[in-house]
Amino acid sequence: MDYLAEYRRWCTGGVFDQATREELLSLTDEKEIEDRFYKELSFGTGGLRGIVGAGTNRMNFYTVGRATQGLADYINACVKEGSAVIAYDSRRMSKEFALDTACILAANGIKAYLFGSLRPTPELSFAVRFHGATAGIVITASHNPPAYNGYKVYWSDGGQIVPPHDKNIISRVGAVAYEDVRRIGEAEAKARGLLVLLGEETDRAYLDAVKSLSLSPEAVKALGGKMKIVYTPLHGTGNLPVRRVLKEIGFENVYVVPEQELPDPAFTTLTYPNPEDPAAFKLALALAREKDADLVLATDPDADRLGVYAKDRSGNYVRFSGNMSGLLIAEYVLSRRKEKGLLPAAGDGALVTTVVSSKMAYPIAEAYGLKVIETLTGFKYIGEQIHMFELARGKNGGRTDGKIGAYAYVFGFEESYGCLAGTYARDKDAVAAVMLLCEAAAYYAAQGLTLPEQMERMYRKYGYFSEDLCTETAAGAEGAERIRRAMQAIRRDPPEALGASRVIAVCDYLEEESGLPKSNVLRFTLENGWCCVRPSGTEPKIKFYIGASGDRAGAEERMKAVRKDLLRLTGFEV
């Protein structure tokens, strides 16, 4: 793309409004102009994600409008009377993009169900099926830095779009010019019955679905008035639903971090609104020490990821990685369901995870007679498995003899702080994860255990697994090229050993037939460990996932050595 020619077109073209032209004409840094126009903000397999601002490589009314028009064209090609549910988070321009999206859909004859205020992403996933909609859209950049926003698309099964819908929608979007986008006003859309606001009815149904997952009401009844929980929504959508569900099931002492309680598009108390980042817990941990809290919890802006600290026997707060919290909730859910006779027959149920998540999933699944199914990175693939299981099992939900993959979904998790314990939604749900984590804490406390002690008990039962994620940022056109070269180098000349660990096998998900969709991911199976390398799909980053098992000290040392070699081989060593 000739970025200067495209820049000039945006500065002078009649389709672009005066505010957009003025923003662009005020730019004096050519690198900034290049970054805004060196490519189009691509509608990927999940939607859009980018910095808010004017330009082809930015989130704005023109790029969002083009995406929505392409989606509308596809919906109308699939069904006669289409509809879509739209939700949004607390980020800059989220509400405006959501309303504009609704008005574009309405102009194309598609009924838009729009939440009247911010809602969590998992509630959007739930609402698509609850309202029988053709599609769903959530305006969010999840845990990205404050400058970002995004546009995620869901299909009628409540899951994020997967083949063939993703490729078909991408094709439609690519055929739309900015001039092709059709809009009507909000008042006209409402008058024609094509814009309907959602509220309490959907909220109540969603929260009831979350509460149906509860497995230890007796433990909550006994300890819900004693346990102390500090919670921060990180200025996002989790505040109201998380507090509401905890109160309704019986947790009475929930302290919300006041500085981070209300929506704030600038995320002024944070540099990075991500519960994976320990720095995001600074205020929450201070409040926890003041209140002597048992648990410290944080959800990301769209409330699909949960970060956890738990107090140990000495009064220190122990950080749980996404793998650890997911595994702890999985063990709690599976053990309680087994006690209650609610697990599928041996071999009939499945625990679904991703290729970059903890391998402790395997011994846990084996202990409860479940099949482990690994997907590519991204919870949309776990949601896809739920849909595939339902199709394979038939309308009555029972196993259909002779059908491959006819499993009952029991639990799914990924290392990036997300899990799902039911099938009411098809995306990770931090609202439900908070409820189950707090309930698990009460259940184990009744047995005299803290959550760190329960985690150690799991290590003794299943073996010690150490996993970590190393992320390196490379921004702009030069960064994208650096990441491309890094992947090319390690793909062309894969190592025979990493650290002191011999490489047993290499899987290139872009080139080999793995049974999964093609993806730019490399996976190395090591002696007593594994690692994966992939570019991020939502940020200018390359990610290194590393895991090791065995004795604790040995596993930690092997992991450090593998990390050092991976950074060296890809040119990202310091």
pLDDT tens profile 83-97: 999 999 999 999 999
- Is the pLDDT reported for residue 501 higher than 60? yes
- Residue 41 structure tokens: 């903000």
Q: For position 512, what pLDDT does the model report?
A: 84
* Bond before 145 cis per omega within 30 degrees: no
The torsion of the CA quartet 488, 491, 497, 499, rounded to 10 degrees, works out to 40
Active site members: 142
What is the DSSP track for 283-334?
Answer: HHHHHHHHHT-SEEEEE-TTS--EEEEEE-TTSPEEEE-HHHHHHHHHHHHH
pLDDT at 574: 61
pLDDT digits (tens, 9 = 90+) for 156-209: 999 999 989 999 999 999 999 999 999 999 999 999 999 999 999 999 999 999
Tokens representing 332 are: 């709690």
Residue type, 435: M
Do 150 and 240 belong to one domain?
A: no
Rounded average pLDDT over 282-308: 98
Which pLDDT score is estimated for 257?
A: 98
CA distance 486 to 466: 25
146 and 260 inside one domain: no
With tokens 């919670």, the residue in question is 231
Domain count, the chain: 3
pLDDT at 398: 58
450 has a pLDDT exceeding 60: yes
User: For residues 514 and 532, is the Cβ–Cβ distance under 8 A?
Assistant: no
d(CA 410, CA 350): 6
User: Other CB atoms closer than 10 Å to residue 200's CB: what's the count?
Assistant: 8
Over residues 26-46, mean pLDDT: 90
**DSSP structure class, residue 464:** -
Domain that holds residue 527: 465-570
Question: Quick check: 467 and 327 in contact, CB under 8 A?
Answer: no
Q: What is the pLDDT of residue 573?
A: 79
Q: How many angstroms separate the CA atoms of 380 and 159, rounded?
A: 6
Band (395; pLDDT cuts 50, 70, 90): low
Helix (H/G/I), strand (E/B), else coil: 9: helix
Same domain for 297 and 211, yes or no, is yes
Residues 168 and 278 in one domain: no
Q: Mark which of 281, 315, 349 sits at the end of a domain.
A: 315
Paired with 2 in beta bridges are none
CATH number for 280: 3.40.120.10
pLDDT digits (tens, 9 = 90+) for 332-349: 999 999 999 999 999 999
What's the rounded mean pLDDT across residues 536-561? 90
- Binning pLDDT at 50, 70 and 90, where does residue 242 land? very high
Task: State the Cα torsion 471-352-371-210 to the nearest 10°.
Answer: 140
Q: Are residues 75 and 177 in the same domain?
A: yes
User: In sequence order, which residues have a C-beta less than 8 Å from that of residue 346 and are 6 or more positions away?
Assistant: 369
Res. 45 pLDDT band, cuts 50 70 90:
low
Q: What's the DSSP call for residue 509? A: T
pLDDT of residue 292: 98
How many alpha carbons lie under 13 Å from residue 550 in its C-beta half-sphere? 15
Kindly state the helix (H) or strand (E) to which residue 501 belongs, with its residue range: strand 501-508
Give the model's confidence band at 402: pLDDT under 50 very low, under 70 low, under 90 confident, else very high.
very low
Q: Is 10 strand, coil or helix?
A: helix
CA distance 289 to 376: 39
Measured distance CA(502)–CA(528) in Å, rounded? 9
Largest CA distance in the chain: 70
Query: Which pLDDT belongs to residue 401?
Result: 47
Q: Are residues 143 and 228 in the same domain?
A: no
Same domain, 131 and 280: no
Domain boundary among 198, 222, 252: 198
507 CB burial (10 A radius; 0-12, 13-18, 19+): middle
Q: What is the mean pLDDT of the chain?
A: 94
Q: Give the rounded percent of residues in the chain with a pLDDT score beyond 70.
A: 98
Q: What is the pLDDT of residues 48-88, one digit of tens each?
A: 999 999 999 999 999 999 999 999 999 999 999 999 999 99
- CA distance linking residue 301 with residue 31, whole number of Å: 30
